[in-house]
Structure 1
Amino acid sequence: MKGVVGIVAIAIALIGLCGTVMANPPIVPPVQYEQFCEAHKVSGTGIIDVSTSVIDKKIALEYFDTMAGDGDIELDQETAYSQNSDKLKRNISSVNGSNTAALNLYQTKKMTYAGETPLVGGKLLNSKTFYGGIGANIQEMFSVNELEQDQTAFFVSTTPNQPAYNIRPEDLPGILKKAGRNTDAVEALMTDKNGIYNPAHLVGLETKQSFNGTWGTDATWHRIFYKDVKAHEMFTGVFEAEKLIKFHENPVPERIPVPCEGIDC
C-alpha cells in the first residue's frame, strides 16, 4: 500500500465535516454484522441441481448462481459472504495488484462437466442502486454438453468495519469526500486497522473456460439520466474463453444538488 505522510492529522481534521447530500459513498456496515460460508467438493455421475443466492439490502447486494444437468461432474466451490469486509480477506489476481483485499462476497469455482443432457445455468451479481450500490451488474448464461471452468466472482460495497487511525466507519464517507482527488489519502482511508485495503465499490468476475455448447455474459452499468454502459458476448460451438469484467467506482462521494434547494417551503 502507498504510504501517506500526515494522514492521521488529515483524518482528525476532517472528522467534523458537516453532512451533505452525497452520491454513492461506501456503505457503513451494520454493527451486528452477518456472515455466510459454504464450501464443497463433489465428483460423480447423475442429476445435478445446485443453486446459491444472497440478497442483502443493507449492503446493496444481489447474487444468484444456479445450474442443473444430468452427466459427469467434478465441482470444487467456495462461497463466502460477510457484511463486515474486514473478516473476508482474499487474493484476486485483478484486484489490488494481486495483494490481499477485503470483500463482502467471494465465490471461487473449479468445475468440469460432460453429458448428453446440457448443463444449463447462470449467475447474476448486482450492486443495487436503490439500496446504495452503483447500479452495476454482471450476468453469465450457459447451456453446455462439455465444460471446464475456473471462475471467481467478487463484490464489495462497504467501508472497513474498523478503519485505520481510529476513524469511525460512520465518519468515513465525509472524510473521503474532503480527501477528494488525493488518491493516496483515499486509499489509506479505505484500509482497515490491520493494513488490508478495501476496494469498494467493486463488482467483478474473472473466468476461464473451454466448452462445447453456448456460453455468454452480459454486463451493464446504468444510472438514470447519467450513465449507460453495456457489454454483451455470446458464443455457440466449441470455444476457449478467458474473460475479466470489473466495475469500480471511486469511494469519494460527490454532492448532489437537492431539488428546490434554497427554497423555503
Structure 2
Amino acid sequence: MKGVVLVAVLAIALIGGCGTVLANPPLVPPVQYEQFCENQKVAGSGVVDVSTSIIDKKIALEYYNTMAGDGDLELDSENAYSQDPDKLKRNVSSVNGGNASGLNLYETTKMTYSGTTPLTGGKYLHSKAFYGGIGADVQEMYSVNEMEKDDTSFFASTTPYQPRDFRNVSPEKLIGKLKDAGRNTSQVEELMTADNGMYIPTHLIGIETKNSFNGTWGTDATWHKIFYKDIKAHEMFTGKFEAEKTIKFHENPVPDRIRAPCEGIDC
C-alpha cells in the first residue's frame, strides 16, 4: 500500500480577528532563568533507546520524546529549552513568517532507520492550563520498520525576559500593557518583542514533520476549554506512506476580563 499525505492543521484563537475568547496572559519568566540543550549526531547499527523529558510548571510546559528499536540508525537532533525566550532564537517555517522567533522550547530531529525490529516511539507536547498554559497538546506516535523523518517541535508561553522598553515596562507590568493594547495587534506585537529585537510568539505550541515510512505512524492534537471549546484532530496510517504535516495552536496573549459569578451583587 502506497500513499502520499499532505496535511496542515491550524487552530488559532485571536481576540482581534476571531471574536472574544477567554485568553490567558503570557507567563512571566523567572529572574533566575534556567536552560537546557542537547545536540547529538549518531550513526550505527544495534539497539536504540533514546528518551528526553522536560516538565516545567513555571512556563506550563510538559514534553516527552522517546524511541526504541534494534536496527540501522542515523540520527541528528537538538533539544533546546530556555525559560528566557529572548536567548533561544530559532527559525520555524510556520511561525512569524519563517523569521527567527524567541521560543521556550525547540526540538528538531533528522533521522533514518531500517530494521526487522520496529522502531517504536513518540513525542508529546502539552501547554498545561493548570499552570497558566492554554491547555492544548500535540502528540506523534509510530512503530515502523523503515523511516526517514525531518521534524520540528516548538513552544512559547512567556513574555520577553527583557522587553524592548524594559526601562519603563518590566515583564510583570507587561500584562497590563497588553490588556490596554487590546485589539491593536501592532502594539501587541511591539510589546511581545524583546530588547534584542526578537519577537516572542506566545502562546504557541506545535510540530512540523516530513517523513516517509513503512509501518504505522499517526498524530493526535487536542485543545479543550471547559464549557466553550473542544478541538480534536486524529490521524493514523499503516503501510508505506509519505507524509508532510503541520499542527499549530496559537492564542493571542492579550488577557480578557472574566467576570466573576454574581459580580455586583451584594450578598
Is TM-score (shorter-chain normalized) higher than 0.5? yes
SS of match in other structure, 2:120? strand
For 2:172, the equivalent position in structure 1 comes to: 170
2:77–2:109 contact (8 Å) kept in structure 1: yes
What is aligned with 1:5? none
1:7 aligns to what?
none
Q: CA deviation at 1:264?
A: 4.9
Give unpaired runs (5+ residues) of structure 1.
1-21
1:135 has 2:135 as partner: yes
Q: Tell me, what secondary structure is at the counterpart of 2:254?
A: coil
- Which of 192, 200, 217 aligns to 1:215? It is 217
Provide the C-alpha distance between the structure 1 equivalents of 2:131 and 2:78, rounded to a whole number of angstroms. Answer: 26
Alpha-carbon distance in 2 for matches of 1:55, 1:80: 13
Work out the CA distance in 1 between the residues paired with 2:264 and 2:23: 19
Displacement after TM superposition at 1:258 (Å)? 1.7
Of the candidates 163, 185, 192, which is equivalent to residue 183 of structure 1?
185
Letter in 1 for 2:26: P
CA distance in 1, matches of 2:202, 2:188: 11
Query: Match for residue 247 of structure 1?
Result: 249
**Aligned-partner residue type, residue 206 of structure 1:** E
Contact 2:23–2:252 (8 Å) recurs in 1: no
Deviations 1:60-104 (A, max 9, x none): 000000000000000000000000101101011111111110000
Q: Distance in 2 between matches of 1:43 and 1:260?
A: 63
Q: Is the 8 A contact 2:23 2:251 kept in 1?
A: no
* Structure 2 residues without counterparts, runs of 5 or longer: 1-21
Q: CA RMSD in A?
A: 1.0
Match in the other structure for 1:194: 196
Q: What displacement does 1:165 show?
A: 1.5
* 1:93 maps to 2:93: yes
Superposed CA offset, 1:93-152 (max 9, x none): 111111110000000100000000000000000000000000110000100000000000
Which residue does the alignment assign to 2:17? none
Q: Is the 8 A contact 2:26 2:158 kept in 1?
A: yes
Instruction: Identify which of structures 1 and 2 has the higher relative contact order when contacts are C-alpha pairs closer than 8 Å and 6+ apart.
Output: 2
Name the SS of the counterpart of 1:176 in structure 2. helix
Structure 2 residue matching 1:64: 3-state secondary structure = strand
Q: 1:23, CA displacement in angstroms?
A: 4.5
Whichever residue aligns with residue 83 of structure 1, its letter is: Q
Alignment partner, residue 79 of structure 1: 79
Amino acid at match of 2:179: K
Q: 1:261: how far off?
A: 2.7
2:135 touches 2:225 (CA, 8 Å); kept in 1? yes
Paired letter, 1:88: L
Equivalent position of 1:109 in the other structure: 109
The answer to whether the 8 A contact 1:27-1:157 is kept is yes
Q: How far apart in 1 are the matches of 2:94 and 2:23?
A: 26
Is 1:47 the counterpart of 2:47? The answer is: yes
Is the CA contact (8 Å cut-off) linking 1:23 and 1:256 kept in structure 2? Answer: no
Q: Secondary structure at the match of 1:28?
A: coil
Residue in 1 aligned with 2:233? 231
- TM-score, L = length of structure 2: 0.90
Which letter does structure 2 place at the counterpart of 1:226?
Answer: Y
Task: Give the Cα separation in 1 of the matches to 2:108 and 2:23.
Answer: 31
Q: What secondary structure, in the 3-state scheme, does the structure 1 residue paired with 2:173 have?
A: helix
TM-score (norm 1): 0.90
The answer as to whether partners of 2:92 and 2:98 remain within 8 angstroms in 1 is: yes
